[in-house]
Every structure is written in C-alpha cells, then in structure tokens.
Amino acid sequence: MTIVVLILAYLIGSIPSGLIIGKVFYKTDIREHGSGNLGGTNTFRTLGKKAGMIVTMMDILKGTLATVLPVMLGVDIHPLLAGVFAVLGHMYPVFAGFKGGKAVATSGGLVLGYVPLMFIMVLLVFFICLYITKYVSLSSILTAVFALIYTIIIRDVPLIIVISVLTIFIVYRHRANLVRIKNGTEPKIKWLSKKQID
C-alpha cells in the first residue's frame, strides 16, 4: 500500500495545471511561450494574472493533497515522503513529457499540508521579497532559505531534511534565472507595482 500511495502522490504532482488551464480556457500551450515552463510564473507572463493565480493555487493544492494522502488513506508512512513525491511529479510530470515546473508552489503545498503556520510565514516572506525585488525567481530562492532556517528553529528533523533537499532543488532549478539576474536580463514582474496596488 505504501508504494500505491507514493505512486498516487507522484501522479497528483504530475497533473500539469498550467498546460490544462492554458489549453482548455485560452487555447494556448504555455510551453511554447515565455520560458516554456509549466509553472505559475510562466502562466502569469503568458496568460495573465487570473490564470497565473489559478495555476499557482492548483500547484499548491497538489502538494497539500499528496501530503495528507497517507492520513486520508490510513497508510503508515510519513506525510512528507508523499509530499516529496508530488514535488517530483510537478518537476518531472509523466503527463507532460517529464518537463514541469520549478517546485516552488508544490513545495509550498507540502508545507501547507504539514505545518500550516509555517506556510503562512513562508507566503508572507515570499510576497515581501517579491514586492521589494520584483523577481519571482529570487523571491523563491530567498523564501526557500527562510523556510530552511524556520525548520531548524522548530527542530523538526524530518522537515529539516525535506526542506534542505527542496531548497537545493529550487536553487538548482533557478540557476539560469540567477545568471540572468546577474546580467540584468531577468524580467521583473509588473503586476505587483505600488501603483497597481494603490
């Protein structure tokens, strides 16, 4: 039963939210636009705020659902393990040629399913960083680092291990973005400007 739950978690993570929303409601394959990525950031850039928010929420919920799956099915495995399989599914989705997102939103969903208070803190830090830097990629990395520090403070060893691995994944998946930031070619978001908020 453990293997079944982990496979289910991976399949849940593999659901290509950006591809589904883009094709069904916008007749657009977001893999052919922007960065070609299936995550929320490229959806924001390609299809706009509404689609971006929906895809991001769907990607978060994938991680949350997978994390609570063992409890729901009464299987004696650590919830974080199922959550990690969902993150792997999001990054390497079987339903989209194993080319998916960068693990940020689904990792957030894992945290939401396991430590809801930490998710709120992480979300707050992300938007503060985003408001200041206007870089989604840099905000994602800084938030991952904050999450790691938070887990060390609360001394949850399994969570420390998982967040450490996810932080490495997130930094690695954003390595090209870091190069573009250094070169001044990384696009900044426009929908969170002070003018638009006011």
pLDDT at 195: 45
Residue linked to tokens 């001044």: 184
| Best CA proximity match to 114, nearest among 141, 146, 151 | 151
Q: How far is residue 122's CA from residue 126's CA, in Å, rounded to a whole number? A: 6
Helix (H) or strand (E) holding 163: helix 157-173
pLDDT tens figures, 124-180? 999 999 999 999 999 999 999 999 999 999 999 999 999 999 999 999 999 999 999
In single-letter form, the type of residue at position 158 comes to P
pLDDT tens figures, 22-70? 999 999 999 999 888 899 989 998 999 999 999 999 999 999 999 999 9
Residue linked to tokens 């977001």: 30
pLDDT at 43: 93
In single-letter form, the type of residue at position 55 comes to V
Percent of the chain with pLDDT over 90: 88
Write down the pTM of the prediction.
0.91
